[in-house]
A and B are shown apart, each in its own frame.
Chain A
């Protein structure tokens, strides 16, 4: 159970434009017939990449070794499959910057220690333009300071307080924290009418 604090991520960035990119596109369902996540990275955005015939950002030489993925609105919508962030983690991404994120996707990312931070539309557009113009630049995602830093400037980023606390406290892998409640869990259960008064 990890207790690793994640306060910032920095490195090269990659831009995937477009809104409402769903988790079926990030990892097509046919590759989920696995009992581990090990092979997920091989199939990240597979159909989009095939359709783009080598012209997909993930296949671009300039974006190799990128650690930060910059995306549009409502990224990761659809299926709850953790296979999606698992695939992107295996591709090498350590943080996501976007207009907005679907909640289950963002929760799955947090559970893997991958920050998802949001930018206002104007800032996001500027960051995308900047990274596309100069993919060699280093982009910094600072969870603690709530900023995204790039050649486009220092931008204020959004990150929900609960998520921020989990990343900074190293409790993003929540199992240990949840278990530390001890018998309070059983006490809560025992007070629930459906477990106390009319249990099956």
Chain B
């Protein structure tokens, strides 16, 4: 028999998705890649639409484009016009651009507004095997479904609007095998913080991260989103989890997911996009999740984190390459090397963001909140990730749990993760934050200080007025 079957070469999910979306090779080893879903928000799109207008070009695939408003939206009242004229102008621009180009806009009136990385998944727009792009670095979030999702800048937003394509060089793939079982009080946030601590904030440059292993497989989709979300904090442009029954169960019945018999056909294909056994990885790293403690950042990048039961490192104890950065961090944070991180007083607590603003995050935080009352002098913000998250939380009475404990329950948006709206730190306030970045000035005050941690840890810190070990509260 001459027709002997040739076994196809085993491929990773990344390679399969890449190959399926390849329009053509470009000179210099880049590939023109089709973008299956383009998500748009108000901050990084106006200049892109303006360039498109200048070039006289239409949006090539308006039906594969979806917009919302999240970064600049106030969380006390979303009534129009916004009191901030600049924010109102940006909103007006987005509305005009979406109207002109026939792009669906999930605004506050739609009842489906929210952080772009929360609404894509909850609408069922985000699906396995897709390429996704958005003018936001946390687009990596969508990799939780087995999509390859790229954060892009505004010129590339223009490119995607005009051509539905990106010019990209292929990435290498690093598989991160997470074994073990998370201890009580340890969350997906702690897993990704530990990964970044281990591999460094630039360890992922040039890589896509494939998160795998029993601890990842045991996670809900929302937990996987938390992990993939912070891939970019580890330098990886995207991160993903192979789709499985958890993924399909999450998508079943979502408004923009295939329905009925089409859903079953979709599952068949989605399943086929997962990495093959025997696929080649450029690197493999192992991590035991049962050894992870609730984690807190002590510095000015997300890799500068430790278990809540550890002491802040003295710069001299660190590898030489990290010493200058650690000294700079301690000076900015006004923290002492050798001191325990537990007990650090906080003045603000922020629960929300595309990292940890979903229903399960609010549930975990509420579980802690109901055990006490916010400490005197601590300002709090609980910001659901979307209007849908808010509705579900309210239906479960979580808003009342938070309010009864003295927390400030807000409207959905990015809020104090990056403080482009009125939610800001003042002076050198320290914020226990469930967000993703502890950069200098990130939360709106040039001297503001951020301690990243899980939402439950933030709630515990709010109750005690200081960083505490969640395991002692639960």
Chain A residues engaging chain B, CB cutoff 8 angstroms: 1, 18-20, 22, 24-25, 28-30, 32-37, 46-48, 50-51, 73-74, 77-83, 85, 100, 102-104, 107-108, 111-112, 160-166, 169, 171, 173-175, 177-179, 181, 184-185, 188-189, 191-195, 197-200
Contact = CB atoms under 8 A, between A and B. Distances in A.
Contact of A29 (B57, B257, B419): B419
A34 B139 CA distance: 22
A165 B321 CA distance: 33
A179 B163 contact: yes
B142 interface: no
Which 8 A-B residue pairings sit nearest by Cβ, starting from the closest?
A165-B28, A82-B153, A111-B155, A108-B153, A162-B30, A74-B202, A47-B446, A178-B163
B86 interface: yes
Residue among A83, A162, A164 having the largest count of chain B Cβ atoms under 10 Å: A162
Nearest to A179: B163
B262 A177 contact: no
Interface of B: 20-24, 26-30, 32, 34, 36, 43-44, 46-47, 50, 55, 57, 60-61, 72, 84, 86-87, 89-90, 93, 127, 129-130, 135-137, 139, 151-156, 158-159, 162-167, 169, 201-202, 205-206, 232-233, 235, 237, 256-258, 262-263, 265-266, 269, 301, 321, 324-325, 328, 418-420, 437, 439-442, 444, 446
Most buried by B among A85, A102, A197, A198: A198
Given A28-B441, A179-B162, 17 more contacts: A18-B328, A24-B442, A29-B418, A30-B419, A33-B72, A33-B87, A47-B441, A77-B301, A80-B139, A100-B205, A103-B237, A163-B28, A163-B169, A175-B163, A177-B26, A181-B24, A185-B165
A51 B206 CA distance: 33
- Most central of A18, A28, A179 by chain B CB within 10 Å: A28
Contacts of A50: 446
A19 B325 contact: yes
Contacts of A175: 55, 57, 158-159, 162-163
B205 A103 contact: yes
Given A19-B325, A74-B235, A192-B21, A79 B46 contact: no
A104 B29 CA distance: 18
A197 B268 CA distance: 11
17 contacts: A20-B202, A22-B301, A24-B418, A30-B420, A34-B86, A35-B50, A36-B50, A47-B440, A74-B205, A77-B235, A80-B136, A82-B154, A162-B169, A165-B26, A178-B163, A185-B163, A193-B129
Contacts of A74: 201-202, 205, 235
A70 to B, nearest CB: 16
Contacts of B89: 35
A107 B150 CA distance: 12
Given A25-B441, A47-B441, A100-B202, A194 B36 contact: yes
Contacts of B237: 103-104
Contacts of B202: 20, 73-74, 77, 100, 102
Contacts of B127: 194
Contacts of B167: 162, 166, 171, 174, 177-178
A1 B51 CA distance: 10
Contacts of A194: 36, 127, 129-130, 266, 269
Contacts of A81: 43-44, 153
Contacts of A185: 23, 34, 60, 163-165
Contacts of B419: 29-30
Residue among A32, A78, A178, A181 with max Cβ neighbours from chain B (10 Å)? A178
Contact of A32 (B23, B156, B301, B420): B420
Given A18-B328, A161-B29, A77 B153 contact: no
Given A18-B324, A78-B439, A35 B47 contact: yes
A112 B155 contact: yes
A111 B205 CA distance: 19
B274 to A, nearest CB: 14
A22 B436 CA distance: 13
Nearest to A173: B155
A198 B264 CA distance: 9
A165 B27 contact: yes
A13 B153 CA distance: 26
Contacts of A103: 205-206, 235, 237
B150 to A, nearest CB: 8
Nearest to B158: A175
A1 B158 CA distance: 12
A52 to B, nearest CB: 12
Given A28-B441, A162-B28, A200 B201 contact: no
A79 B205 contact: no
